[in-house]
Copies of this chain bind each other. A is one copy, B any other.
């Protein structure tokens, strides 16, 4: 027995199928421990223009008040409330309007008792006045403005720091930046922001039968579906995909590819225990093949390990298995490295099953389903090689390891693909 096979976690199974597969739960426990060990990637400082959807690497504390001045919250007249304490519809009090103040304009002249400043929403409140009488509470007679209602002192003013106070924590570390966060960061004067680096993901698609995306299928060759799909998935999960092209089923070529510079490596194809399945043996020889074969359908011939301290996820070449293995393992790792939640990005809903789902105890099943109103059923023609089963599906359900499946009528959580 060679060193290579002796390092294989299930060394006796080579060429005979997997004698034993570990449960999804154990595989995820191993993965999560490794992810905890690796933590999140380092940070980089980027322009606020590019920051939407990125993950804050640090807490953001405001250095400034927003606004840094008292301002009018209504269009009207800035005045002393005591000057019009007796104003009413029957007792209109004339205002001596001495100036006008629009946003961005500060009136710094003296304002005497009985005088008022015409003021627009957002304009800074001049010194010497204390309230804003809304224009609706005034009337104009012979071009003379009158107050027809009184108001409380301080009314219709926005205070210093009303939106944000200097020293306030604005956004927590780890925040995935939302549109309004970008607005708030802009308002406190941030031109740049420190975010977690995006995981660089090397996608290694192997298979002599594959033509690269963009070609027409011909003869006994098929066109690669997994590379373009994985690129899209990686980008969705905040990673930067790198997929320079199909890698031949050749040990040297595959080894060079999986040793490429990246934060995480995903391979597609050649992940099982056949003689052309070079990836697991290469990983076992040059790194650690920690997990190989997981009790689930599809994607049972998945592998997970490390090479040069980086995670390597070995996905099967069958495209449905590739998608599911990505979602279960690789996507989780990419999101974690990038400082995001490990949870799926799929929305979840509860629907009623109309057709039985069988699943043996001891195996976790990924079942593509179609939804019709409040009901759903498994898609027909759903083998691991039938990628169109995932495009015909509205979503999927997961039948846990310990479940035998579900009878019609069961209310289940469905994850949505839209």
Contact = CB atoms under 8 A, between A and B. Distances in A.
A17 interface: yes
Nearest to A118: B275
A46 to B, nearest CB: 13
Interface stretch (A80-88, A183-191, A304-312): A183-191
Contacts of A102: 208-209, 249, 276
Interface in A182-233: 182-189, 191, 207-210, 213-233
Given A68-B217, A186-B213, A275-B120, A181 B386 contact: no
Given A75-B274, A105-B220, 8 more contacts: A15-B135, A16-B136, A66-B222, A67-B217, A163-B385, A178-B232, A183-B226, A184-B391
A183 B228 contact: yes
Interface in A1-39: 15-17
A336 interface: no
Contacts of A272: 75, 121
Contacts of A347: 347
A179 interface: yes
B317 A181 contact: no
Contact of A179 (B163, B209, B214, B232): B232
B220 A183 contact: no
Interface in A84-115: 102-106
- By DSSP majority rule, is chain A's interface helix, strand, loop, or mixed? loop
B164 A388 contact: yes
13 contacts: A15-B135, A49-B213, A67-B222, A102-B249, A104-B210, A163-B386, A178-B417, A179-B232, A181-B391, A186-B227, A187-B222, A189-B215, A191-B215
Contacts of A223: 186-189
A182 B228 contact: yes
A16 B135 CA distance: 6
A209 B102 CA distance: 8
Nearest to A416: B347
B214 A191 contact: yes
Contacts of A383: 73, 158, 162
A233 B209 CA distance: 43
Interface in A248-291: 249, 272-276
Chain B CB within 10 A, most for which of A106, A225, A272: A225
A392 to B, nearest CB: 9
